[in-house]
């Protein structure tokens, strides 16, 4: 799956540089969505190859690698777009993905036993094997809400920066640096929050991260200069580093080993649906009410999600943790 996704995306994204109109670009973007899945396969491989005691640190390290790309990507893309042209961004990205394909082929190894096709479980059999269906569904829904919130501002961020900068030049580069601010913070915070999750519980890290992220979105609606937005995006990155890894850690710990890959596939589907819904929501809210309302709505959505996580996830897992510690003490 890693080889398929990396090579397929290298070809498709490279072809985007040759698109002659927006319809060809949309078609290639749809094809990219069909072919993609490298991140999903990475998460599943790490989850299935790592013991539960160290799952938090391993998944957070993977998140750090992904976030490092989100740190460098917008800045490099903005630089190439301004100095070489927009089409060269697609060619450069396709080349990087081909490097990922070669590196995966040469260096990635997996302990994998292929199942007989007649023994591969269907959806109903997989779902029947999930021990805590209610908590699993809540984690799927939480991941959906988190991605909706985090991606709702992406369609309007460049326009917002243009508005804040008063029409000054280098908007693409400033937007790239603003995107990168949260990525830089994620790199510092993700491994530490992963270790903290292994020590005190991922449910605690997730609850605090969601609540603080919700609070940090609200003042972004009232900034008056790009640098203020960069600072708030950096602080947001420190908290958002505990969101996706925490969901993955909890899914890993409550899911039997033999169906981990399928369950993570469902989770990532919820995340991709959130990316789509968040992008549409952010664009529509900005069109109807204004750019600043997107940040307020996103903050409110995260705070509501935090209250739901506290009621349905935190209290349940905290009680289970106390019971387990009591049994261990006896």
**Tens digit of pLDDT for each residue in 203-214?**
888 899 999 999
Tokens at 34, concatenated: 């069909």
pLDDT at res. 101 = 93
CATH number at 80 reads 1.20.1250.20
- Dihedral angle at the C-alpha atoms of 180, 284, 290, 67, nearest 10 degrees? -10
Is residue 113, in this structure, part of any structural domain at all?
no
Query: How large a percentage of the chain has pLDDT more than 90?
Result: 19
Could you tell me which of 21, 271, 251 has the C-alpha nearest to residue 151? 271
pLDDT at res. 91 = 92
- pLDDT for residue 31 is more than 70: yes
Sign of CA dihedral 136, 212, 157, 184: negative
Q: What domain count does the chain have?
A: 1
pTM of this structure: 0.73
Is residue 42, in this structure, part of any structural domain at all?
yes
pLDDT at res. 167 = 63
pLDDT-derived band at 118 (thresholds 50, 70, 90) equals very low
Taking phi over 0 as left and psi of -120 to 50 as alpha, with beta for the rest, 166 belongs to left
pLDDT-derived band at 327 (thresholds 50, 70, 90) equals low
pLDDT-derived band at 154 (thresholds 50, 70, 90) equals confident
Range of the domain at 244: 2-108+123-329
Burial class (CB in 10 A: 0-12, 13-18, 19+), 137: middle
Cβ atoms of residues 157 and 179 within 8 Å: yes
Is residue 215, in this structure, part of any structural domain at all?
yes
Phi and psi torsions of 243, nearest 5°? -90, -75
Burial class (CB in 10 A: 0-12, 13-18, 19+), 262: buried
pLDDT-derived band at 96 (thresholds 50, 70, 90) equals very high
**Tens digit of pLDDT for each residue in 237-279?**
888 877 888 888 888 888 887 777 778 778 888 888 888 898 8
Highest mean pLDDT among 15-29, 47-61, 73-87, 306-320: 15-29
Tokens at 142, concatenated: 């939480």
Is residue 186, in this structure, part of any structural domain at all?
yes
Could you tell me which of 222, 246, 219 has the C-alpha nearest to residue 234? 219
Is residue 116, in this structure, part of any structural domain at all?
no
- pLDDT for residue 80 is more than 70: yes
What's the whole-number mean pLDDT along residues 26-47? 83
Could you tell me which of 249, 163, 194 has the C-alpha nearest to residue 67? 194
Could you tell me which of 313, 263, 305, 31 has the C-alpha nearest to residue 152? 305
- pLDDT for residue 47 is more than 90: no
Picking from 95-104, 128-137, 141-150, which range would have the lowest pLDDT averaged per residue? 128-137
pLDDT at res. 266 = 83
- pLDDT for residue 305 is more than 70: yes
């Amino acid at each position: 799956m890693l080889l398929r996704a990396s090579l397929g995306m290298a070809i498709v994204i490279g072809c985007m540089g040759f698109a002659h109109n927006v319809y060809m670009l949309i078609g290639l973007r749809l094809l990219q969505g069909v072919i993609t899945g490298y991140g999903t396969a990475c998460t599943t491989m790490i989850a299935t190859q790592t013991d539960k005691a160290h799952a938090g640190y391993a998944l957070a390290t993977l998140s750090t690698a992904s976030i490092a790309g989100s740190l460098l990507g917008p800045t490099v893309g903005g630089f190439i777009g301004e100095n070489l042209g927009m089409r060269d961004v697609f060619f450069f990205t396709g080349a990087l993905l081909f490097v990922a394909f070669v590196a995966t082929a040469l260096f990635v190894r997996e302990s994998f036993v292929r199942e007989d096709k007649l023994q591969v479980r269907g959806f109903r059999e997989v779902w029947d094997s999930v021990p805590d269906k209610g908590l699993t569904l809540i984690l799927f829904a939480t991941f959906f809400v988190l991605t909706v919130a985090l991606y709702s501002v992406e369609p309007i961020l460049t326009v917002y920066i243009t508005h804040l900068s008063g029409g000054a030049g280098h908007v693409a580069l400033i937007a790239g640096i603003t995107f990168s601010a949260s990525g830089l913070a994620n790199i510092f915070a993700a491994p530490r929050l992963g270790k903290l999750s292994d020590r005190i519980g991922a449910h605690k890290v997730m609850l605090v991260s969601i609540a603080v992220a919700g609070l940090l979105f609200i003042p972004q609606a009232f900034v008056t200069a790009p640098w203020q937005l960069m600072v708030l995006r950096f602080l947001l990155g420190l908290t958002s580093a505990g969101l996706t890894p925490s969901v993955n850690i909890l899914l890993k710990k409550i899911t039997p080993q033999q169906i981990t890959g399928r369950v993570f596939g469902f989770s990532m589907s919820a995340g991709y649906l959130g990316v789509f819904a968040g992008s549409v929501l952010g664009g529509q809210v900005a069109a109807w009410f204004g750019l600043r309302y997107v940040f307020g709505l996103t903050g409110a959505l995260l705070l509501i999600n935090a209250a739901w996580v506290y009621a349905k996830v935190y209290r349940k897992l905290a009680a289970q943790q106390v019971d387990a510690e009591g049994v261990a003490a006896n």
